[in-house]
Amino acid sequence: MTAPSPVLPVHALPSYLQADHLGPWGIYLQQVDRVTPYLGNLARWVETLKRPKRALIVDVPIHLDNGTVAHFEGYRVQHNTSRGPGKGGVRFHQDVTLSEVMALSAWMSIKNAAVNVPYGGAKGGIRVDPKTLSRGELERMTRRYTSEIGIIIGPTKDIPAPDVNTNEQIMAWMMDTYSMNEGATSTGVVTGKPIDLGGSLGRREATGRGVYTVGAEAARRIGLEIKGARVAVQGFGNVGGVAGKLFAEAGARVVAVQDHTGAIYREAGLDVPALMAHVAETGGVAGFAPAEVLDKNKFWDVPCDILIPAALEGQITEANAGRITARLVIEGANGPTTPQADDILHDRGVLVLPDVIANAGGVTVSYFEWVQDFSSFFWTEDEINARLVKVMREAFAAVWQVAEDHKVSLRTATFIVACKRILHSRDLRGLYP
- Coil, strand or helix at 108: helix
Name which of residues 340 to 369 contact ligand NAD (CB under 6 A).
359, 362
Q: How far is the CB of 145 from ligand NAD (least distance, A)?
A: 19
Does 270 bind ligand NAD (CB under 6 A)? Our answer is no
The count of other CB atoms within 10 Å of the CB of residue 51 is 15
Least spacing, CB of residue 408 vs ligand NAD, in Å: 23
β-bridge pairing 158-162 and 86-93: parallel
Based on the number of CB atoms within 10 Å of its own CB, is 301 exposed (0-12), middle (13-18) or buried (19 or more)? middle
Answer for which of 110, 333, 392, 408 binds ligand NAD (CB under 6 A) is 333
Q: Which stretch binds ligand NAD (CB under 6 A): 61-69, 93-101, 305-313, 403-411?
A: 305-313
- Is 298 in the active site? no
Q: Which is nearer to ligand NAD, 85 or 362 (CB)?
A: 362
Choose the catalytic residue: 123, 193, 245, 420: 123
**In angstroms, what is the minimal distance from the CB of 187 to ligand NAD?**
19
236 near ligand NAD (CB under 6 A): yes
Residue nearest to ligand NAD (CB): 237
CA torsion angle 415 305 238 198 (round to 10): 50
Q: According to CB under 6 A, which one of 235, 391, 409, 411 is a site residue for ligand NAD?
A: 235
Q: Is 228 left (phi over 0), alpha (psi -120 to 50) or beta?
A: left
Asked if 239 is part of the footprint of ligand NAD (rule: CB under 6 A), the reply reads yes
CB-based contact 76:108 (threshold 8 Å): no
* Residue of 260, 298, 393, 424 that binds ligand NAD (CB under 6 A): 260
CB-based contact 302:255 (threshold 8 Å): yes
Q: Which long-range contacts (CB under 8 A, 24 or more apart) does 129-136 make?
A: 129/93, 129/94, 130/92, 130/93, 130/165, 134/65, 136/65
Cα–Cα distances (Å) from 26 to 122, 223, 229, in that order, read 17, 36, 36
310 is a contact residue toward ligand NAD (CB under 6 A): yes
Which residues contact ligand NAD (rule: CB under 6 A)? 164, 207, 234-240, 258-260, 284, 310-312, 332-334, 359, 362
Q: Which residues are catalytic?
A: 123
